[in-house]
Amino acid sequence: MANKFLVVGNWKMDLSHKAALEVAGAIKKMLAGIYLDVDVVIAPSFTSLPAVATKLAKNEKVQLGAQNVHWEEGGAWTGEVSVSQLTPFARWCIVGHSERRQLVGETDEQVRAKVYVLQKHGLTPIVCVGETADERNRGETVSKITRQATAIFTQQTGVSVSRLVIAYEPIWAIGTGETPDPAEAAQTMLLIRKIAAEKLGAEAAEKIRILYGGSVNAGNAADFVSEPGVDGVLVGGASVKSAEFVNIVKAVEKIERTF
């Protein structure tokens, strides 16, 4: 059975608290009365999570995610956020985003530890992997993705992978407007699933939802999810525009799986 499509909006640091509430309210209103067979998640900044959770209360169509978490459950980590501080509001959490890996120096081991603590507390991690333009040009995409994916799958079981999402985000496509050919991206995503199958078995690997991310918009989302093995999209800049994000959700919803 095919996985249910998933559309995730990563709001990064693009919205003020007031704007976050306005966008969340607009998305909620535009999706009201529409039957959706797709999971929709938005990830506001930490400071807006409680208020956005209240705004979306009793709404089953839009779920909340966080943009990051610390791998320790508590302690002297000034400026960080623990999983127990997220659980009252979020059911999903993005980890390993390229901006964190590059700008903060997060390692594969730290990302793996974050995945562990999230799953331990019942949150679903959305783990980002991807290669830079230089790595792509040097033909290192396969080795980079293999290393990142292997680090994640090493600690997984057939049960835990049902609560795991991998987002393939070629770093050179994030925020640039440049995207890979959908078929090319799907091949890289197939590699991720093959690595999972080698570590966990084919049945377990099929349970993992694998998303494409990187300059996703309403005009190209359907092209990516139409490819075999692509279970949805992780949306950046377009997700803070309520109408654009809803159009992406609708575009994904219309895709009929034939595989």
Q: Which of 242, 225, 70 is nearest to 234 (CA)?
A: 225
How buried is 67 (Cβ within 10 angstroms: 0-12 exposed, 13-18 middle, 19+ buried)? buried
Q: Are 232 and 40 in contact (CB under 8 A)?
A: no
How buried is 65 (Cβ within 10 angstroms: 0-12 exposed, 13-18 middle, 19+ buried)? buried
Q: Are 224 and 230 in contact (CB under 8 A)?
A: yes
Q: What are phi and psi of 232, to 5 degrees?
A: 150, -165
Task: Tell me which residues are annotated as active site.
Answer: 97, 169
Q: Which amino acid is at 255?
A: I
Alpha carbons 121 and 129: distance in angstroms, whole number: 23
- Under DSSP, is residue 39 helix (H, G, I), strand (E, B) or coil? strand
Per DSSP (E only), the strands in the chain are 5-10, 38-43, 63-66, 92-95, 124-129, 165-168, 209-213, 232-235
